[in-house]
């Protein structure tokens, strides 16, 4: 990794403790400067802070709860001015923000998955997901500073972001209620979808494959749930995006793969 770039990684690890050997593998092979994790599934006081410091990430922001959710930002670079919003009035460890040395705010989100039934009347989890996205839209409309937004947004917005648009129209993660909200969120701040900027449609692109498939690679029934966006002014900083599909084939994998972005240091992050 050339020093004129900064490499960020967003990864839903589905338990940071269960995934520790793969965290080490990711760091050894891909050397991200900043790791944004989701679904760490551990209370903040039990988060493996020392292990991350030993890996080269002494600057840490951690939110967590027992067994569910949880987000963390682990960094080689100093972090300032941490912020942790509570969305929908719940203190459920789904968001963290850190100010990078350049002054840019980095936001790490874990949007609710939403349960199985795509009806907010019948399914409170789906109602929570829609309300969470609505709050994000209102937040983005008020944003007046450049940001980097990453995370598991649990929505695959475009037809090419799922293995079958038709089959998933009534499946939570790709319903019109969700995809319209995600695109409104994008428009609210004129966010640039860096992943699609590097890997444009109509190419299919996924970041998640169900654990329940007999052969995830052969059936390839994936969805693009994990995202890296920036404010328009930071779009020019984009150098490259890597969706680490191979990580789904690692031993004891997460069902999500890491998404890496290289940003020109001088263009944004200092």
Residue 18 is a binding residue for DNA (CB under 7 A): yes
Q: Which of 48, 101, 115, 159 binds DNA (CB under 7 A)?
A: 115
Q: Which of residues 30-59 bind DNA (CB under 7 A)?
A: 39, 41-42
Q: Which residue is it, tokens 């839903």?
A: 12
Chain-centroid distance, C-alpha 205: 15
CA 81, 87, 90, 94 torsion-angle sign:
negative
Q: Which of residues 184-203 bind DNA (CB under 7 A)?
A: none
Residue 166 is a binding residue for DNA (CB under 7 A): no
Chain-centroid distance, C-alpha 110: 7
User: Measured from the CB of residue 130, what is the shortest distance to DNA in angstroms?
Assistant: 14
Nearest CB to DNA, comparing residues 166 and 212: 212
Residues 6+ apart with CB under 8 A from 214: none
Residue closest to 230 by CA, chosen among 44, 8, 77? 8
Residue 17 is a binding residue for DNA (CB under 7 A): yes
User: Measured from the CB of residue 12, what is the shortest distance to DNA in angstroms?
Assistant: 8
Residue 212 is a binding residue for DNA (CB under 7 A): yes
Q: Quick check: 94 and 113 in contact, CB under 8 A?
A: no
Residue 211 is a binding residue for DNA (CB under 7 A): yes
Residue 123 is a binding residue for DNA (CB under 7 A): no
Rounded to 5, what percent of the chain is helix, strand, coil?
A: 30, 25, 40
Give the interface with DNA as residue ranges (CB under 7 A): 14-15, 17-19, 39, 41-42, 66-68, 112-115, 125, 154, 210-212, 252
């Amino acid at each position: 990794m050339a020093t004129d770039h900064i490499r960020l990684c967003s990864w839903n690890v589905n338990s940071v403790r269960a995934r520790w050997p793969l965290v080490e593998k990711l760091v050894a092979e891909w050397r991200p400067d900043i790791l944004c994790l989701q679904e760490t599934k551990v209370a903040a006081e039990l988060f493996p802070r020392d292990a991350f410091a030993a890996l080269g990430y002494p600057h840490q922001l951690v939110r967590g709860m027992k067994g569910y959710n949880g987000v963390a930002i682990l960094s080689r670079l100093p972090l300032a001015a941490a912020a942790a919003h509570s969305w929908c009035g719940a203190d459920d460890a789904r968001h963290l923000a850190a100010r990078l040395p350049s002054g840019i705010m980095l936001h790490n989100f874990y949007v609710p998955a939403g349960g199985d039934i795509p009806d907010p009347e019948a399914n409170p989890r789906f109602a929570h997901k829609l309300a969470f996205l609505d709050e994000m839209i209102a937040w983005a409309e008020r944003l007046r500073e450049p940001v980097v937004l990453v995370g598991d947004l649990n929505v695959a917005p475009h037809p090419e972001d799922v293995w079958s648009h038709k089959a998933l129209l009534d499946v939570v993660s790709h319903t019109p209620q969700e995809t319209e909200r995600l695109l409104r969120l994008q428009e609210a701040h004129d966010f640039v979808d860096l992943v699609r900027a590097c890997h444009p449609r109509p190419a299919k692109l996924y970041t998640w494959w169900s654990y329940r498939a007999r052969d995830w690679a052969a059936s390839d029934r994936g969805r693009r749930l994990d995202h890296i966006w920036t404010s328009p002014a930071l779009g020019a900083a984009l150098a490259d995006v890597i969706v680490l599909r191979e990580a789904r084939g690692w031993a004891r994998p997460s069902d999500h793969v890491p998404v890496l972005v290289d940003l020109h240091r001088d263009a944004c992050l200092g």
